[in-house]
Each structure stands twice: as structure tokens, then as C-alpha cells.
């Protein structure tokens, strides 16, 4: 069993063999300067003269929250109350208000969580994600499914910083109507609701009017895609019985390394250095986050949003892509090995499987020819696939790097989420792209509003 406080490692040796070393050294110098500015912004001494550091409070948030016992206890107590009272949770939210919680759920809970009995779910409710679309069929199916549960003990968790995002607000109306028709008693409606929102929002006003006391306020200086380690991610994590303190401890430890460690020993800074070098000096504008566990697909989608919304601005920014291997070796593998040389591949690898390693059984008749693998584990075969794929890319001078997690647990997830948020933000600081805000998204909202009329 590995040390529970071991941080993820970032190994860029294979990429180093392919990318221009002098170019990387120059990029590292820029990143060291950018790190100083970023840390000054995080401390409130506002070094940034180029942009408003809107979401910068995410940097020290894990440390601050660990010191705020009252807020942490409130999250945990509400989490416990919802876990005990609800059999199903419907989490309404979109973008950063949904993808972080989903990444935590997929990475840290049983892959068949919703299909297990309550006991096998460690006494946690089932969880469903909605409010992230305008999909009639999906809404109807969930309402229908909830109505079929005999004891009808489902509750709503609504997350929206602005409190006015149409997808989330509209689905809240729909689920609220179902809740009201189930409960009858307005007080019980208020008790069946928890809300995470900004200090002032229409959602907050509505929740208050409904008598909801479970209202959590998002910090002003942390926006959607940087909010996974605030109550946005921690409240659902706590409802699911996850250890929210360990998530924060992992993130705080990663921030310490980011602030203090030299290049070469600093996963966030080193990852940013590889990404910028590959893009600026080798034209690699596609970033593949290649996760070697199905449990990390949602982390990949969360990262797609983080990178796309943070750096995809003013005609610039790499295109993120999540690949789940070995599955996608059979779909995207051909292109990644043989297609346009515009891709940097970042593997995310987990050293120890969480469950008992499955051993490949021998058979008397070796018809499928697999007795040569009998006695080895599925994880052994996965590791061979990782090594084989990396070798094949290296032979063709295609750069790969590895983010290596000793295990997949709350500590390592917190650390990895923080590492990726720091790396993307640092890249923005070093390349002059404002990593905060998403001005481009406003345009579709404006046109949609005008299509709907007033």
C-alpha cells in the first residue's frame, strides 16, 4: 500500500526526447515569471496588469477551507443529512456547476453505484445529473424513474453561480413542480432542496422564498470551472460519503508544490511547459488527455471544459480531447499514431487498482490461446498496453507524458484537479491569454434570448 500522501507525478521524459530542449528552457523561464505573478494575484497583491484575475481565489481555497472549520462542518452535516434522508439526489447544474461533481462521482464511487442496494452503496443515495441540457426525453425519463421509486425520497441539489442559467433554471421549475406535487407540505419542499449559488442571484431568492435553509454561497473569486473544490463539488461528494477533507488536503499539497518546487519537480508547471513548447514550437494544437481508466472519463470531460473555456479565446488556444484507453485505441488510436502531427498526448495512469486484481484463469482447452497469460492480472495487461502504446508513439517521434497516480482516492483526485487548474491558469499567464471568464459563450445566450422573445 503506497503512502496516502503521495502526490501524482508528472513524467515528461518521453516528450523531452521529441520536443526542442532549448525551446522548453525558454518556456520554463517565462513560466517561472508567470508563476510569480499568478501567486501575487492569488495573495491579493495584484501583479497582473493584463487582466482581472477573476477566479484566482481557487489557488489558495483548499488551504483556506481546511482552516474554516465552521464552513466545512456545515458542508459535512448537510451532506450527512441528505445522505441519510434521501434515496435519490438529482443534481441540477451545467458546465462547471455539473462537470466537477460528475468527475468526483465517476472517479471515486462504484461504477455501478446507482444499480446497487443502499447497503452496497455505503448507505449513499443514487445520484442523477440533469439541468445540463434542454433534452425533453432525458427529463421525462428521469421524472418517470423518480416517480417509480416506491418511497419517493428523492431530493434536489441545485448549483448555479449566476443563478440564472436557462438550462438549470428551467429544469428546476420542472423538478420543483414534481417535488411540490409529491410533498404537498411547503416546509418539506424547502427541506428537500439544497442550493449552491452566488451571493446574489435569482436562484438564491427562489430558494429563500421556498424556505430552503441549505443555501451555500460560492466565493466571489471562484467561477464555475474552478469551483470543483468549493461546495459545488464538496457538497455532492459529502452526500456520497466521500472524504471532503482529503480532497482538500490533496489540493493544498499540490498548491504548496506549485508555489515552492523548481521546474522538473513541479507537476503543474512542468505540464504547462510541455504544453506550451509542443504548441508554440511544434504546432501541436490538439491536447489529448488519455485516461487509462473508465472512471476518469468524466475527469477528462471536466478538463476539456477547463482548457477550452479558459484558453480558447481571441483566435487562440489548444483543442482538448479526452481519450479513454484501451477503449479508444480501437477508435482514435489510428489517428493518434499515424495522423497529423498536431497532438500532444498526456496519459493519466493509476498504479494500484482499487478492487481485488482479477487474475486471468487457465482453461484446459486453450482454444483462444490465452493460457500464456494465465496467472497474470488484467492490470498487468493494461500496463503492457500503456508501455506498448508509449513505445509505439516514441518510435514515431510523437510526444507523450504521464501523470501517474499512486491510487485513485480523494487525496490524489484533489491533487490532480488542482494540478490541472493551476497548469491551465499558469499557461494563460505565460502566454497572455486571460484564463478567466468565457465571453464567447455570451453571444449564443444573447441570440437564444432574442429567439425566445421577451
Annotated catalytic sites, by residue?
A: 309, 330, 445
Nearest residue by C-beta to ligand PA5?
A: 224
Smallest distance, ligand PA5 to C-beta of residue 305, A: 6
Smallest distance, ligand PA5 to C-beta of residue 228, A: 10
Smallest distance, ligand PA5 to C-beta of residue 57, A: 14
- Cell 425520497 sits at which residue? 153
DSSP codes joined into one string, 166-208: HHHHHHHHHHHHHHHHHH--HHHHHHTEEEEE-SS-HHHHHHH
The residues near 263 (Cβ < 8 Å, ≥ 6 apart) are: 28, 31, 32, 269, 270, 273
Q: Which of 157, 173, 35 is nearest to 98 (CA)?
A: 157
Smallest distance, ligand PA5 to C-beta of residue 166, A: 9
Q: Chain centroid to CA 251: how far? A: 13
Q: Which is nearer to ligand PA5, 309 or 427 (CB)?
A: 309
- C-alpha to C-alpha distance for 42 and 58, rounded to whole angstroms: 8
Smallest distance, ligand PA5 to C-beta of residue 41, A: 18
Residue 94 touches ligand PA5, criterion: CB under 6 A: yes
- Cell 518556456 sits at which residue? 27
- From 32-40, 137-145, 220-228, 392-400, give the range in contact with ligand PA5 by CB under 6 A: 220-228
Smallest distance, ligand PA5 to C-beta of residue 438, A: 6
- Sheet containing 9-11: order of strands: 9-11, 400-405, 343-350, 286-291, 319-324
Residue 309 touches ligand PA5, criterion: CB under 6 A: yes
Phi, psi of 261, rounded to the nearest 5 degrees: -80, 150
The residues near 110 (Cβ < 8 Å, ≥ 6 apart) are: 116, 120, 121
Q: Which of 346, 356, 351 is nearest to 405 (CA)?
A: 351
- From 90-98, 183-191, 319-327, 400-408, give the range in contact with ligand PA5 by CB under 6 A: 90-98
- C-alpha to C-alpha distance for 149 and 329, rounded to whole angstroms: 39
For the segment 142-161, give every residue that binds ligand PA5 (CB under 6 A).
Answer: 160-161
> Angle of helix 410-431 relative to helix 267-282, nearest 10 degrees?
40
Taking CB under 6 A as the criterion, the residue among 95, 233, 414, 435 binding ligand PA5 is: 95
Q: Which is nearer to ligand PA5, 31 or 251 (CB)?
A: 251
Residue 102 touches ligand PA5, criterion: CB under 6 A: no
- C-alpha to C-alpha distance for 129 and 141, rounded to whole angstroms: 12
Residue 225 touches ligand PA5, criterion: CB under 6 A: yes
- C-alpha to C-alpha distance for 353 and 234, rounded to whole angstroms: 24
Q: Which is nearer to ligand PA5, 139 or 359 (CB)?
A: 139
Q: Which is nearer to ligand PA5, 397 or 448 (CB)?
A: 448
* Number of residues binding to ligand PA5, judged by CB under 6 A: 14
Q: Which is nearer to ligand PA5, 126 or 204 (CB)?
A: 204
Q: What is the dihedral of CA 412, 417, 422, 423, to 10 degrees?
A: 90
Q: Which is nearer to ligand PA5, 12 or 216 (CB)?
A: 216
- C-alpha to C-alpha distance for 228 and 380, rounded to whole angstroms: 33
Q: Mask: binding to ligand PA5, 239-258, rule CB under 6 A, as x and -?
A: --------------------
- C-alpha to C-alpha distance for 182 and 296, rounded to whole angstroms: 36
Q: Which is nearer to ligand PA5, 94 or 284 (CB)?
A: 94
Q: Which is nearer to ligand PA5, 125 or 224 (CB)?
A: 224
Taking CB under 6 A as the criterion, the residue among 8, 62, 79, 96 binding ligand PA5 is: 96
Q: Mask: binding to ligand PA5, 57-76, rule CB under 6 A, as x and -?
A: --------------------
Q: Mask: binding to ligand PA5, 160-179, rule CB under 6 A, as x and -?
A: xxx--x--x-----------
Residues in the chain: 454
The residues binding ligand PA5 (CB under 6 A) are: 94-97, 160-162, 165, 168, 223-225, 309, 438
Amino acid at each position: 500500500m503506497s503512502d496516502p500522501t503521495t502526490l501524482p507525478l508528472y513524467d515528461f521524459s518521453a516528450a523531452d526526447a521529441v520536443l526542442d530542449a532549448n525551446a522548453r528552457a525558454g518556456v520554463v523561464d517565462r513560466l517561472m515569471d508567470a508563476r510569480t505573478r499568478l501567486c501575487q494575484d492569488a495573495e491579493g497583491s495584484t501583479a497582473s496588469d493584463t487582466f482581472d484575475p477573476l477566479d484566482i481565489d481557487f489557488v489558495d481555497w483548499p488551504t483556506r477551507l481546511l482552516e474554516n472549520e465552521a464552513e466545512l462542518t456545515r458542508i459535512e452535516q448537510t451532506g450527512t443529512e441528505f445522505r441519510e434522508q434521501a434515496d435519490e439526489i438529482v443534481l441540477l447544474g451545467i458546465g462547471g456547476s455539473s462537470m466537477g461533481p460528475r468527475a468526483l462521482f465517476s472517479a471515486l464511487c462504484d461504477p455501478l453505484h446507482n444499480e446497487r442496494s443502499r447497503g452496497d452503496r455505503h448507505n449513499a443515495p443514487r445520484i442523477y445529473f440533469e439541468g445540463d441540457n434542454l433534452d425533453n426525453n432525458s427529463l421525462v425519463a428521469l421524472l418517470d424513474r423518480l416517480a417509480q421509486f416506491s418511497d419517493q425520497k428523492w431530493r434536489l441539489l441545485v448549483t448555479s453561480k449566476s443563478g440564472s442559467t436557462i438550462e438549470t433554471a428551467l429544469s428546476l421549475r420542472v423538478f420543483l413542480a414534481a417535488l411540490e406535487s409529491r410533498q404537498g407540505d411547503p416546509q418539506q419542499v424547502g427541506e428537500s432542496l439544497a442550493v449552491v449559488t452566488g451571493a446574489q442571484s435569482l436562484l438564491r431568492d427562489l430558494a429563500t422564498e421556498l424556505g430552503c435553509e441549505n443555501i451555500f454561497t460560492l466565493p466571489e473569486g471562484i467561477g464555475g470551472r474552478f469551483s470543483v473544490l468549493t461546495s459545488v463539488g464538496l457538497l455532492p461528494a459529502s452526500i456520497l460519503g466521500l472524504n471532503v477533507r482529503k480532497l482538500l488536503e490533496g489540493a493544498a499539497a499540490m498548491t504548496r508544490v506549485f508555489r515552492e518546487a523548481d521546474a522538473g519537480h513541479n507537476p503543474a508547471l512542468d505540464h504547462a511547459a510541455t504544453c506550451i513548447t509542443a504548441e508554440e514550437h511544434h504546432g501541436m494544437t490538439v491536447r489529448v488527455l488519455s485516461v487509462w481508466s473508465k472512471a476518469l472519463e468524466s475527469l477528462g470531460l471536466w478538463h476539456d471544459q477547463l482548457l477550452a473555456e479558459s484558453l480558447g479565446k481571441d483566435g487562440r488556444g489548444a483543442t482538448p480531447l479526452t481519450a479513454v484507453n484501451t477503449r479508444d485505441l480501437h477508435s482514435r488510436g489510428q489517428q493518434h499514431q499515424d495522423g497529423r502531427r498536431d497532438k500532444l498526448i498526456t496519459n493519466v495512469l493509476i498504479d494500484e487498482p482499487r478492487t481485488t486484481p482479477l487474475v486471468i484463469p487457465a482453461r484446459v482447452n486453450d482454444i483462444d490461446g490465452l493460457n500464456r497469460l494465465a496467472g497474470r492480472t488484467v492490470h498487468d495487461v493494461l500496463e503492457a498496453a500503456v508501455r506498448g502504446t508509449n513505445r509505439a508513439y516514441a518510435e514515431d517521434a510523437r510526444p507523450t507524458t504521464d501523470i501517474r497516480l499512486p491510487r485513485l482516492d480523494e487525496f490524489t483526485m484533489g491533487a490532480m484537479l488542482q494540478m490541472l487548474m493551476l497548469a491551465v491558469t499558469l499557461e494563460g499567464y505565460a502566454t497572455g491569454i486571460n484564463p478567466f471568464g468565457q465571453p464567447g459563450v455570451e453571444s449564443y445566450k444573447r441570440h437564444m434570448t432574442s429567439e425566445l422573445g421577451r
